[in-house]
């Protein structure tokens, strides 16, 4: 508290947030960006015109966008689309509230694409802490990259599915959201086809066991969806039945994800609570557990990248092949970005 010289306050709701920020000076306020959502309309109330306010955003690559208007579907209680409305992102609403503040963003994964661009929101990088620096500091072990090709072979049925979806996407009455969902469904069906999952499972098992003969290690498999994660688990267990155990604390492979009974038995049997996922994470830190697969609590963290998938094995020892000395990957560490209005 001596560093801050005042007691930090957690905003309990939108009204409390407005009360905390409508002050002439001082204040250390913690809040989620969702509390800057206007109750109606597309303009958030200006809470302060002060220039000595500093807004620090953690995970700044996630929800800090949206200066441009976009159309979204309006649904009734039954989930049926009944209309559309224009909305903006939290970036605009936050700056409506605090137009003269200085904005500082921290992120491990800055994004630089056309519609989602972290530097465009926060300005140029103030400091970059990358993987190479983290390795030099001893904060992490070396990461080795090995590309693995997993081709998609389409059956006649699959080709017809793509044609049907392409025809559907060409309809003018579809919203951008509906088109995006249709494209994702199409891609997920291709990446998660039965033959491809079996091929990937065989490659993972072979590769993992060969590496285990050289040195002890662990693996994490990243998939595009929960369905693919669950089915890939089944394909791996079919090859190595002794890796499976119904006991969450036993077995060599686990799916880490959330699921509901409505997801069906294939996925729902892998559901785990927050405490169980935390326990699995602790268990995975030791060498006794060999392999784990699944998704993170809020969104899928397992992606079988198209057309490649990667296996990463981390080790503390320095023996074996070394990474390319001339390659300093700009992988995420801690990134700080700051921008004043108009800067």
Provide, rounded to the nearest whole percent, the portion of the chain with pLDDT above 70.
73
Strand order in the sheet with 255-256: 219-221, 291-294, 255-256
* Same-domain status, 115 and 15: yes
pLDDT-derived band of residue 240, with 50, 70 and 90 as boundaries? very high
Give residue 16's pLDDT band: very low, low, confident or very high (50, 70, 90): very high
Is 52 a member of any domain? yes
Cis peptide before 49 (omega within 30 of 0): no
**339: pLDDT strictly greater than 80:** no
Residue 169 has a pLDDT of: 60
Q: Say whether both 19 and 127 belong to one domain.
A: yes
Q: Which two tokens stand for residue 294?
A: 């699944």
Quote the pLDDT of residue 64: 78
pLDDT tens-digit readout, 112-128: 776 677 887 888 888 88
Task: Calculate mean pLDDT across residues 275-289.
Answer: 73
Question: Do 30 and 118 fall into the same domain?
Answer: yes
Same domain, 215 and 127: no
Same domain, 201 and 123: no
Distance of CA 239 to the CA centre of its chain: 30
Q: Which residue has the higher pLDDT, 48 or 324?
A: 48
Q: Is residue 149 part of a domain?
A: no
pTM over 0.75: no
> Is there a single domain that holds both residue 129 and residue 13?
yes
Q: Quick check: is 205 in a domain?
A: yes
Highest mean pLDDT among 104-113, 160-169, 227-236: 227-236
Report whether pLDDT(191) > 70.
yes
CA distance 239 to 197: 12
Whether 71 is in a domain gets the answer: yes
Element housing 74 (H / E): strand 70-75
Residue 90 in this model has a pLDDT that exceeds 60: yes
Cα-trace Rg, the chain: 24
Structure tokens at 331: 């992988």
Domain count of the chain? 2
Same domain, 105 and 22: yes
Residue 213 and residue 303 in one domain: yes
Residue 177 CA to residue 71 CA, distance in Å, equals: 9
Q: Say whether both 28 and 132 belong to one domain.
A: yes
Q: Taking residues 140-148, report their average pLDDT.
A: 81
158 lies in a domain? no
Note whether 205 and 239 are within 8 A (CB).
yes
The answer to whether residues 219 and 294 belong to one domain is yes
So what's the pLDDT on residue 317? Answer: 31
- Dihedrals phi, psi of 149, to nearest 5 degrees: -90, 130
Residues 26 and 119 in one domain: yes
Residue 232 has pLDDT above 90, yes or no: yes
Does residue 237 have a pLDDT over 90?
yes
Q: What is the DSSP letter of 44?
A: P
C-beta separation of 337 from 123 below 8 A: yes
18 SS3 class:
helix
Helices 176-191 & 226-239, crossing angle to 10 degrees? 0
By residue range, what is the domain housing residue 298? 194-310
Angle at CA 102, nearest 5°, toward 101 and 104? Answer: 135
Question: Which residue has better confidence, 36 or 284?
Answer: 36
Is residue 296 a part of any domain in this protein?
A: yes
Q: Is residue 85 part of a domain?
A: yes
- Domain assignment present for residue 146? The answer is no
* Tokens matching residue 89: 């992102």
Q: Does 14 lie in the same domain as 81?
A: yes
Spatial separation of the C-alpha atoms in residues 160 and 170, rounded to whole Å: 15
Q: What is residue 165's predicted lDDT score, i.e. its pLDDT?
A: 65
């Amino acid at each position: 508290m001596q560093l801050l010289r005042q007691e930090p306050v957690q905003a309990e709701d939108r009204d409390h947030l407005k009360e905390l920020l409508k002050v002439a000076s001082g204040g250390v306020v913690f809040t989620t960006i969702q509390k800057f959502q206007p109750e109606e309309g597309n303009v958030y109330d200006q809470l302060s015109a002060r220039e000595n306010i500093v807004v620090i955003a953690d995970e700044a690559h996630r929800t800090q966008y949206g200066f441009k208007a976009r159309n979204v579907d309006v649904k009734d209680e039954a989930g049926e689309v009944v209309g559309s409305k224009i909305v903006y992102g939290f970036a605009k609403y936050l700056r409506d509230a605090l137009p003269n503040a200085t904005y500082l963003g921290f992120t491990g994964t800055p994004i630089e694409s056309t519609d989602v661009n972290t530097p465009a929101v926060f300005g140029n990088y103030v400091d970059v802490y990358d993987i190479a620096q983290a390795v030099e500091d001893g904060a992490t072990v070396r990461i080795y990259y090995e590309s693995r090709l997993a081709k998609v072979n389409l059956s006649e049925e699959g080709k017809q599915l793509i044609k049907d979806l392409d025809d559907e996407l060409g309809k003018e009455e579809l919203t951008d959201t509906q088109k995006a969902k249709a494209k994702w469904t199409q891609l997920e069906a291709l990446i998660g086809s039965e033959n491809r999952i079996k091929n990937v499972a065989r490659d993972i098992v072979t590769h993992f066991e060969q590496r285990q003969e050289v040195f002890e290690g662990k693996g994490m498999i990243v998939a595009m969806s929960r369905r693919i994660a669950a089915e890939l688990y089944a394909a791996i267990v079919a090859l190595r039945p002794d890796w499976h155990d119904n006991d969450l604390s036993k077995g060599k492979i686990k799916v880490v994800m959330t699921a509901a009974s409505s997801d069906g038995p294939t996925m729902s049997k892998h559901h785990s609570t927050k405490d169980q996922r935390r326990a699995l994470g602790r268990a995975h830190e030791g060498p006794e557990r060999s392999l784990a697969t699944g998704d993170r609590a809020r969104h899928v963290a397992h992606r079988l990248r198209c057309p490649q998938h990667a296996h990463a094995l981390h080790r503390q020892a320095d023996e074996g092949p070394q990474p390319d000395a001339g390659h300093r990957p700009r992988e995420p560490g801690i990134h700080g970005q700051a921008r004043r209005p108009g800067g």
